[in-house]
Structure 1
């Protein structure tokens, strides 16, 4: 019963912070709400006794990615942020909804093609998935294992850091 109550509290916090992250007009508040969402997801992992995933969520996403966002925001010109208010037009709303529907249909087709939901239900009926299996899936290089996507993400974050350094450097004046 306590797990259900804790899950409900975390769900409300995550959903509320996610909505506020998208709805606020101030970018630093948006990043702060995103940080709350990421900590809430880590809380869900801890609630499920997946301590490794919870710690990874805090270290990688809540710590690293959010700090990367904050540094990127600090490097942007203050005047550019002040004038960054965009008015919604009906055309852009329709385009956004259309793209969201296309994305949803794509995800549902991939799930149906790979029978992912059936595999998850079958795996949970056979018992709990051990942390050893999850760890091997995360760092393995075989089919359906995730070391290659992690490497791509690390290269992408390195490119973002290098791009941030290049943007933040002051250009020397040519005399």
Structure 2
């Protein structure tokens, strides 16, 4: 019973924060609400006893990615951010709903056509040991992920350096 109550609390926090993240006009508030969403997802992982995923969610997404968003927001000039406030237009809302429905139908067709739901139900009964997950994350063999992590870290470093260079050029004007 306690798990259901905690899940309901986390679901309300996640959905409310996600809604506020999309609807707020302040970009810093949106980043803050995104942080609450990511912490709520980590809470659900901990509720399901997936401590590794919960810790990864907090350290990578809630910690690193959100701080990178805030860093990028701070690098952008205030004049650029002032022009970002935009009113809702009926055609844009209708277009967004239409694109969302097309995406939902596409995902549903792919899932049903390829029978992913049946395959996922049979795979979910198998428990994967933590040592195997760790080896897959930091291994360098086929189907292991150390090389993509290294490429992403180099890419993020290049983005940060590029952002700093752009910010320095704006200060000289």
1:67 alignment partner in structure 2: 67
1:169 alignment partner in structure 2: 168
Aligned positions, number? 172
Please give the alpha-carbon distance, in whole angstroms, between the structure 1 residues aligned to 2:156 and 2:62: 15
Are positions 1:111 and 2:134 aligned together? no
TM-score, normalised relative to structure 1: 0.81
Equivalent runs, 1:2-151 vs 2, <5 Å: 2-124=2-124, 126-135=125-134, 138=137, 142=142, 150=149
Please give the alpha-carbon distance, in whole angstroms, between the structure 2 residues aligned to 1:103 and 1:39: 27
Task: Note closer, same or farther for the CA distance 1:128–1:100 as it changes in structure 2 (3 Å cut).
Answer: same
Tell me how large the CA RMSD over aligned residues is.
Answer: 2.7
Q: Contact 1:43–1:54 (CA<8 Å) still a contact in 2?
A: yes
Secondary structure, aligned partner of 1:87? coil
Q: Contact 2:46–2:54 (CA<8 Å) still a contact in 1?
A: yes
Q: Contact 2:35–2:62 (CA<8 Å) still a contact in 1?
A: yes
Q: Which runs of 5+ in 2 are unaligned?
A: none
Q: Contact 2:75–2:164 (CA<8 Å) still a contact in 1?
A: no
TM-score, normalised relative to structure 2: 0.81
Q: Contact 2:35–2:66 (CA<8 Å) still a contact in 1?
A: yes
Q: Contact 2:21–2:29 (CA<8 Å) still a contact in 1?
A: yes
Please give the alpha-carbon distance, in whole angstroms, between the structure 2 residues aligned to 1:107 and 1:148: 29
